[in-house]
């Protein structure tokens, strides 16, 4: 489901003596965070913080937040999750965030059968794997072009053509 504010990363430590924070990004790369001038301390967007400087440092982003000027002030933010406003993100048309897939309903593109809802996504390197849950059972679906027909996160609906065996209800003998 499309959300207005999405988690972008967590403040994991401080950096230097001027109040910079180290952010572990929960996005593709630390460079993605560089496009934002404002982030939020809450998922409702009520507690905004301006970014005065941002740079990549290995696999983390180093941020200088307005009003955070000492290592002590930065240390007090450790463990804080930062949120971005989705409308501020520069994404190509048809792209979406993993968080937006969560709770989307997955249907068969040909029959309309409901397979369940996505409750988790696992990156595997070659492709993501969507964890679909229905009636207490979990199914693993490879998120590949041959399987995914359409994704409409605004409507919370995904259509697929599953590979043989993924949703089969075969019983296995002991």
Distances (CA, A) of 159 to 21, 150, 168: 41, 5, 17
DSSP characters over the chain: ---SEEEEEEEEEEETTTTEEEEEESSS-HHHHTT-SEEESSTTS-SEEEEEEEEEETTEEEEEETT--SHHHHHTTTTPEEEEEGGG----TT---HHHHTT-EEEETTT--EEEEEEEEEE-SSSEEEEEEETTEEEEEE--TTTEEEEETTTTEEEE-PPTTSS-------
- CA dist., res. 95 & res. 25, Å (int): 18
Write down the pTM of the prediction.
0.74
Identify any residues that bridge with 94 across adjacent strands, giving them in sequence order: none
* Residue 123: per-residue pLDDT: 83
* Residue 1: per-residue pLDDT: 61
* Residue 172: per-residue pLDDT: 38
**Per-residue pLDDT in tens (0 to 9) along the chain, 174 residues:** 677 899 999 999 999 999 999 999 988 788 899 999 999 999 999 999 999 999 999 899 999 999 999 999 999 999 999 999 988 988 877 778 888 899 999 999 999 999 999 999 988 888 899 999 998 999 999 999 999 999 998 899 999 999 888 887 644 334
Residues found in the chain? 174
Could you give phi then psi for residue 30, rounded to 5 degrees?
-65, -25
């Amino acid at each position: 489901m499309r959300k207005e504010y999405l988690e972008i990363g967590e403040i994991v430590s401080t950096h230097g003596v001027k109040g910079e924070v180290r952010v572990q990004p929960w996005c593709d790369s630390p460079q993605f965070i560089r496009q934002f001038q404002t982030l939020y301390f809450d998922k409702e967007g009520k507690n905004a913080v301006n970014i005065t400087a941002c740079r990549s440092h290995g696999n983390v982003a180093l941020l200088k937040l307005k009003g955070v000027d000492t290592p002590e002030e930065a240390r007090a933010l450790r463990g804080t999750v930062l949120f971005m406003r989705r409308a501020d993100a520069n994404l190509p048309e048809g792209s979406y965030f993993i968080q937006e897939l969560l709770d989307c309903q997955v249907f068969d593109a040909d029959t309309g059968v409901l397979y369940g809802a996505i409750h988790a996504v696992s990156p595997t390197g070659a492709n993501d794997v969507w964890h679909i849950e229905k009636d207490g059972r979990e199914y693993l679906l490879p998120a590949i072009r041959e399987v995914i027909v359409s994704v409409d996160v605004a409507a919370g609906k995904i259509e697929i053509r599953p590979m043989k065996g993924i949703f089969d209800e075969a019983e296995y003998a002991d």
